[in-house]
Amino acid sequence: MNMIARRVSLVAMSCSLGWAVPASAQNARDLAAMQAQIVQMQQQMQAMQGQISVLQNQLANAQARADAASTAVAAVPAQIAAAQAANAPTVSAKPETKITWDGAPKLEAAVDPKNPKAGTWSFKPRGRVQIDVGSLSAPKALGSKETGFASEFRRAYLGVDGTIPGNFGYRVEADFAASSVNLTDLYLTWKPNARLTLTAGQQKPFWGLEEMTSDLFTSFQERAAFSTAFGFERRIGFSAAWLDKDVLVQGGVFTDDAATLNSDTDNSYSIDGRVVFMPKVGGGQLHLGGSAHFRKFKDLQATARYNARPFLHTTDLRLIDTKAFTADGERSFGLEGAYIIGPFHATAESHWLTATRSGLANPTFNGGYAEVGMLLTKGDSSAYKGGVYDRIRPKNGVDKGGLGAIQMNLRYDWLDLNDAGIVGGRQQIAGASLLWIPTDYVRFIVNYGHVWIDDAAVPAGAARNYTANALGMRAQFDF
């Protein structure tokens, strides 16, 4: 641009000089030459002006392209963010977790809060600890070291239970009391409707009222002698339960308990069922029920054995015992009855078990108990729910500044293991218990039993008929 300005100045100066020279003083030839130079210079100026216009257009186009590129670069982050947002997966908000308390924290979250039918996830830890002490006083002639004082962790359960969307439920629980792990409950449930429950896994095969009642709520440290003698235990199987207002029907098909099934030679199976009628009568709760059980051993070497401890679990001594004998199966029947009104309850059960033997007489053994009990503290009541006894909740617990609940119980228990040439002995027990329940989840038990033994499997010297005394105490808590 400076060069163009200088040329323009020269042209102007030349013109001035040309115009300043008088025509008369110039030679005609010189004037013509000068005019030719001026014309040539004007042509050059016009050409240069055209180049300037081209350069200006190119500069403008370049600037426009630079501005466009700058705008595009500035827009890239926004475009990238928009693309990421468009391609990002949709993440729904996490359902709100509800925490409630029922002896332990229970976590629960609805799959869709706007649709209750979608179901819920829930998770709750559970457990129990029972610490027992006991003393068995028996004739010295027994010569057994298993009498006298002993203590143990009777149970130390730890597990979880909860629900799964779709009306499913679960429980996983094990007992750690024996310095080893033994599975107790391990099952999956499904409730297609409010009355029907289907269960698959390790569970109880509906033995009877006391056996189906949790050991947390029994009125003595141990259940009736026939319950342990006849091998009432949890087994793996599939079951169904129908619960209506006044009727409970339970049934299932089972194999054996989880530990026993580790043996490939165990092919036992059973069919078990129970029916309970439980109407309200006279202001109280009536309970009438019965159960039936059929079992086939199907083992490589099938034998049966029935025995029982003398009212305490702290001793391994079995004063009555059939010893092992050949058998290929069992069939058994039970009857149960109870009446609960306010603080009072009365219960009675009996069970008959027949061991089936091919080509031999089938022995039938019988056991049972009758019990009455009364809560002595004002305002407290016995608890019953769904065909079993339930948790007693003190009206004035220690946690509320009160005494808690106190219950007293009396029981007569019998077990006869003599029949068809099998002499296992007879055991009778007159027992009494005193319970202190300071809070919903803590319980203390003291119980005493006077034991009569006939045809004892463990004689006292030469005597096979004698008596013994059992005193036991328990402290327990659960969550």
**End-to-end Cα separation, the chain, in angstroms:** 97
Identity of the residue numbered 425: G
pTM comes to 0.79
User: Domain 99-478 is of which CATH architecture?
Assistant: Beta Barrel (2.40)
Residue appearing with tokens 């165990």:
266
In angstroms, the CA 35 to CA 38 distance is 5
Q: Tell me, what's the pLDDT at 327?
A: 96
**pLDDT reported for residue 163:** 96
Q: How far is CA 315 from CA 72, 152, 415, in A?
A: 89, 10, 18
Per-residue model confidence as pLDDT tens for the chain (479 residues): 444 444 434 334 443 434 343 444 455 676 677 777 777 777 777 777 777 777 677 767 767 775 765 665 555 556 655 656 556 555 455 668 899 998 899 999 998 878 877 889 999 999 999 999 999 999 999 988 899 999 999 999 999 999 999 999 999 999 999 888 999 999 999 999 999 999 999 999 999 999 999 999 999 999 999 999 999 999 999 999 999 999 999 999 999 999 888 877 788 999 999 999 999 999 999 999 999 999 999 876 789 999 999 999 999 999 999 999 999 999 999 999 999 999 999 999 999 999 999 999 999 999 999 999 999 999 999 999 999 999 999 999 999 999 999 999 999 999 999 999 999 999 999 999 999 999 999 999 999 999 999 999 999 999 999 999 999 999 999 99
Look-up: residue for tokens 């990002």?
A: 88
Output the pLDDT for position 25: 46
Report how far residue 221's alpha carbon sits from residue 234's, in angstroms, rounded to the nearest whole number.
19
> How far is the C-alpha of 252 from the C-alpha of 293, rounded, in Å?
10
Strands 284-296 and 405-419: unpaired
Cα–Cα distance measured from residue 391 to residue 437, given in angstroms and rounded to the nearest whole number: 10
Q: Where are the domains of the chain?
A: 2-71, 99-478
